Amino acid sequence: MINYGRQDIRQADVDAVVDVLRSDFLTQGPAVPHFEEQIATRVGAGHAIAVNSATSALHIACLALDLGPGDVLWTVPNTFIASANAARYCGADVDFVDIDADTWNMSVPELEAKLAAAASENRLPKVVVPVHFAGQPTDQEAIWDLAREYGFRVLEDASHAVGASRNGEPAGSTRWSDIAIFSFHPVKIISTGEGGMALTCDEVLADRMRALRNHGIIRDASRFRNESPGPWYYEQQMLGFNYRLTDIQAALGASQLGRLDEYVARRNALADRYDQALADLPLRLPFVRPENVSAYHLYVVRLRLGEMAKTHRQVFEELRDNGIGANLHYTPVHLQPYYRDLGFTDGQLPEAEAYGDDAITIPLYPTLTEEQQDQVVSALEKILDRH
Ligand SMILES: *Cc1c(COP(=O)(O)O)cnc(C)c1O
C-alpha cells in the first residue's frame, strides 16, 4: 500500500538521536532549547515553545490567550478535530466558519459576515483559529485586520505549513497572529515522532506557555511571589501540565529541520507533476494562490461526481484495492458525533460539507518515487475510465 504520507528518516537523524541517548539528558537537556532556537530563527518568530504534540500546543495557546468557560473559539470545519477540541479542553464553546471554495481555507467573507452577526448578538469569539490547509497559508493579513476591528485573538494552526510562506513571510512568524502552532507528527512536513511547537512574538504569552507545558512552574527568581528560601526553590503559580518534548525527539526534529527546504521543494515538484498528469481527469485539483508557497502537506483532488458514474466511496475503495492509501482530510468536524451532540447539524456549513462529499487525499511525501506516483495516476485513470 502506498500511504498518503510518511516520514523520511536518514542516517543523520539516527545519529542525532543516538547521540542524545548516550548523553546525560534524555529530557530537559540542551537539545530542546537548541531545536526551539532553530525553529524560531527559521520562521522569524521571537519565541518557540516545544511541546509533545500540536494538540498540546493548541491547548496551552488557548489557555495563554485566556480562553475559558463562557468564551467562544471559531475555527474551520475542514481541519483535524484537535483545532476545535482545544477550546473544549478550556471549557469554551466552539463555532465554525465555512471554507473558501477554491483554497479550502477559512473564507474571509464568511468570517466577516459571521463577525458582523455575532457583534450584534454580543457573542463575538475570543479566539479565531485559521488552519493553513494542506500547507497553504490562509489570508492572514485580512484575518488580522478583522481581529483589530472586532478584538479577537488569532491562533494559527500551521500544523500543515512548516516551510510554507505568504508574500515571502514564513508561516509561523506570527506577523499576522498572536500565536502559531506546528505539528511534527510523522505524516507532517518534518517529524519528531510525536511533537509540536508554539510560536509567538509576545513575551508574556511565551512565558505563560513555557510555564503551562511544565506544571505551571516558574524558575526565574525575579518573578517569584514568595521569598526564595534557597537555591532549590521553584514556584507553581498556575495549573499546568507535563507537555514537554524530550531531547531525543528534539534532536530528531533539529536534524529533520536541516532538510526542510529540500522537503518542501520535493513536495512541490511532485504536486506539479500530479497537476499535469491529472489535468484531463474529471477532478478539481488543488489551487495555490500566487502570493503563497504551499508546504504541500497534502495533495487533495475533488471528484466531479456529476461527470462520472461512480460514487465517492467507490472511487475510494477502488483506490485502496489498487494499493493506493487514499484518505479523506477531513470529514467536517461539526458532523462528528461529539459535535453533533453539541447541536451542530448537516447543512450548516455547505462548502465544507460539499468538500467532505467529494475530496480524496492521494499519496504525497518526499520519498514517493515518480514510479509510485505514476502508479497512483494510472489507478485513477483506470478507476475514472480514462485509459
Ligand atoms: C496533525 C494536526 C493537528 C494535531 O497534531 P498532533 O501533533 O498530532 O497533535 C492539529 N491540527 C491540524 C490541522 C493537524 O493536521
pTM surpassing 0.95?
Answer: yes
Q: 302: CA distance to ligand 1 center in Å?
A: 22
Q: Tell me the per-residue pLDDT of 214-271, one tens digit each, with 9 for 90 and over.
A: 999 999 999 999 999 999 999 999 999 999 999 999 999 999 999 999 999 999 999 9
User: Where is the domain boundary, 257, 286, 315?
Assistant: 257
Which residue has the least CA distance to atom 10 on ligand 1? 82
Q: Tell me the per-residue pLDDT of 58-95, one tens digit each, with 9 for 90 and over.
A: 999 999 999 999 999 999 999 999 999 999 999 999 99
In a domain, 6, yes or no: no
C-alpha cell read off for 166: 505568504
Q: 272: CA distance to ligand 1 center in Å?
A: 25
Q: Tell me the per-residue pLDDT of 329-345, one tens digit each, with 9 for 90 and over.
A: 999 999 999 999 999 99
Q: Give buried/exposed letters for 217-236 (b at 16+ CB in 10 A, else e).
A: ebeeeeeeeeeeeeeeeebe
Q: Tell me the per-residue pLDDT of 151-161, one tens digit each, with 9 for 90 and over.
A: 999 999 999 99
* Residue 387: pLDDT over 70: no
C-alpha cell read off for 297: 502537506
* Residue 305: pLDDT over 60: yes
pLDDT of residue 31: 98
Beta strand 196-200 pairing with 165-166: unpaired
pLDDT of residue 254: 98
Residues 98 and 83 in one domain: yes
In a domain, 35, yes or no: yes
* Residue 275: pLDDT over 70: yes
In a domain, 149, yes or no: yes
Residue 126 falls in the annotated catalytic set? no
Q: Tell me the per-residue pLDDT of 27-51, one tens digit each, with 9 for 90 and over.
A: 999 999 999 999 999 999 999 999 9
User: Where is the domain boundary, 224, 241, 257?
Assistant: 257
Q: 233: CA distance to ligand 1 center in Å?
A: 36
Residues 171 and 235 in one domain: yes
User: Where is the domain boundary, 237, 257, 277?
Assistant: 257
Q: Of residues 126, 188, 310, 382, which has the active-site annotation?
A: 188
pLDDT of residue 386: 66
Residues 199 and 298 in one domain: no
For residue 228, give every residue at least 6 positions away whose Cβ sits within 8 Å of its Cβ, in sequence order, or none. 221
Residues 65 and 110 in one domain: yes
Residues 240 and 313 in one domain: no
Q: How many domains does the chain have?
A: 2
Residues whose beta carbon lies within 6 Å of some atom of ligand 1: 53-55, 79-80, 82-83, 131, 157, 159-160, 183, 185, 196
In a domain, 4, yes or no: no
Q: Which atom of ligand 1 is nearest to the CA of 83?
A: 11
Residues 236 and 348 in one domain: no
The CATH number for 375's domain is: 3.90.1150.10
Q: 282: CA distance to ligand 1 center in Å?
A: 30
The CATH number for 21's domain is: 3.40.640.10
Q: How confident is the model at residue 385 (pLDDT cuts 50, 70, 90)?
A: confident
Residues 204 and 92 in one domain: yes
Residues 94 and 167 in one domain: yes
Percentage with pLDDT > 70 across the chain? 99
Residues 53 and 189 in one domain: yes
Q: How confident is the model at residue 6 (pLDDT cuts 50, 70, 90)?
A: very high
Structural domain boundaries enclosing 376: 260-383
Q: Tell me the per-residue pLDDT of 104-118, one tens digit each, with 9 for 90 and over.
A: 999 999 999 999 999
Long-range pairs for 272-276 at CB < 8 Å and ≥24 separation?
A: 273/370, 273/373, 274/299, 274/362, 274/364, 274/373, 274/376, 274/377
Residues 186 and 311 in one domain: no
Which residue has the least CA distance to atom 6 on ligand 1? 54
Contact between 64 and 179 under an 8 Å Cβ cutoff? The reply is yes
